[in-house]
């Protein structure tokens, strides 16, 4: 597990973050404890519209001429459909396109497809992948476990229709996600393993996933979990914001579909997992403990990237920081690692 010294180092707020806080220009939390739902959604949509564009401009030198995209729908249970954005190469790789499913952040209440537009385009550009960026239904209109059910239905549909989608899962079949989307990726990894999904998943990319809140952490690991105290008042996503998300999503904390750390059949046999972790994040230690268990106790291949002093979901609100561009490049490099290749960025 991360030592006391390591956790203290990770928690120490980055000077750039401190300067933004001091001069009053740091963004407000994603949601405040007493905030109206519509107000929170309006504010998040405004921030998403502005910041995704600003962040993408740092990648204007990329050649996206081989990247095509279109909006579509995916069938789910109950004769319903959910929106998705399909990205694919105009000219696919000679050996076929890996298949990637991506899920966005937002505490299961906020966010949208645009959040993950940039990494999805980069996955096509660098790996010739077929990528589905999925908009699961959100709380409070559709509380837990709706998002999990939507994600699982979508994944099974992708697996069944890979050939028609001109994807080659033998080249890689990855589920990826950020924050809440990273939670979904981990849950789907376990469901796919337990049900023997065919074709099988070959990797998971989990960017800042909520995996286990402190109260649900097994006692033998709680001594290594301090981020619930260190980052209780962290910017962007403090403890109050997480309580706001839970009040709307109404998750079952005893369910492995929300706390996959406590999956009843354990974590043996999962595919390789790439984890991205923020140092000044209340969720941090659940991720660090999980990675160490996977790597040291189970022999699962892992790739861990930590952003010391950075708050949860910083890249989506602070595109001007160099760490935000680094996080996106690291997502691409992690995907390359999962696909068995070399880093696209050095």
pLDDT of residue 322: 98
pLDDT of residue 1: 73
Residues 6+ apart with CB under 8 A from 272: 202, 203, 204, 300, 301, 302, 303, 337, 338
The span from the CA of 146 to the CA of 138, in Å, is 8
Label residue 20 left, alpha or beta by phi (over 0 means left) and psi (-120 to 50 means alpha).
Answer: alpha
pLDDT of residue 4: 85
Residue 176 phi/psi, 5-degree rounding, is -130, 160
Per DSSP (E only), the strands in the chain are 67-76, 80-89, 99-103, 130-134, 173-178, 203-207, 273-280, 302-311
Q: What is the pLDDT of residues 149-180, one digit of tens each?
A: 999 999 999 999 999 999 999 999 999 999 99
Are the CB atoms for 306 and 237 separated by under 8 Å?
Answer: no
Q: Which residues are catalytic?
A: 179, 281, 312
**Tokens describing residue 232:** 């209780």
Q: What is the pLDDT of residues 17-54, one digit of tens each?
A: 999 999 999 999 999 999 999 999 999 999 999 999 99
pLDDT of residue 2: 85
Residues of the chain with pLDDT below 50 are none
Q: Is the pTM of this model over 0.95?
A: yes
């Amino acid at each position: 597990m991360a030592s006391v010294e390591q956790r203290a180092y990770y928690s120490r707020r980055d000077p750039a973050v401190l300067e933004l806080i001091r001069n009053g220009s740091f963004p407000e939390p994603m949601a405040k404890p007493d905030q109206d739902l519509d107000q929170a959604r309006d504010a998040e949509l405004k921030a998403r519209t502005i910041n995704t564009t600003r962040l993408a401009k740092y990648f204007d030198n990329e050649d996206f001429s081989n990247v095509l995209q279109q909006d579509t729908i995916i069938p789910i249970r109950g004769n319903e459909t959910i929106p998705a954005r399909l990205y694919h190469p105009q000219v696919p790789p000679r050996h076929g396109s890996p298949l990637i499913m991506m899920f966005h952040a937002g505490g299961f209440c906020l966010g949208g497809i645009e959040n993950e537009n940039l990494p999805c385009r980069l996955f096509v550009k660098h790996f010739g992948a077929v990528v589905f960026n999925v908009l699961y239904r959100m709380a409070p209109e559709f509380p837990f476990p709706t998002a999990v059910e939507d994600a699982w239905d979508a994944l099974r549909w992708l697996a069944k229709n890979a050939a028609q989608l001109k994807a080659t899962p033998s080249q890689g079949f990855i589920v990826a996600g950020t924050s809440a989307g990273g939670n979904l990726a981990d849950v789907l990894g376990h469901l796919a393993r337990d049900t023997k999904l065919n074709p099988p998943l070959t990797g998971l990319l989990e960017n800042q996933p909520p995996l286990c809140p402190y109260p649900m952490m097994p006692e033998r690991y709680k001594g290594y979990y301090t981020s619930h105290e260190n980052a209780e008042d962290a910017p962007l996503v403090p403890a109050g914001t997480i309580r706001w998300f839970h009040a709307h999503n109404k998750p079952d904390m005893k369910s492995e579909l929300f706390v996959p750390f406590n999956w009843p059949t354990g974590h043996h046999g999962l595919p390789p997992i790439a984890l991205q972790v923020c140092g000044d994040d209340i969720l941090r230690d659940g991720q660090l403990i999980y990675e160490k268990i996977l790597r040291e106790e189970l022999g699962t291949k892992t790739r861990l990237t930590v952003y010391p002093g950075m708050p949860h979901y910083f890249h989506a609100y602070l595109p001007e920081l160099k760490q935000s561009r680094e996080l996106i490049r690291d997502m691409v490099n992690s995907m390359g690692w999962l696909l068995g290749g070399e880093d696209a960025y050095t």
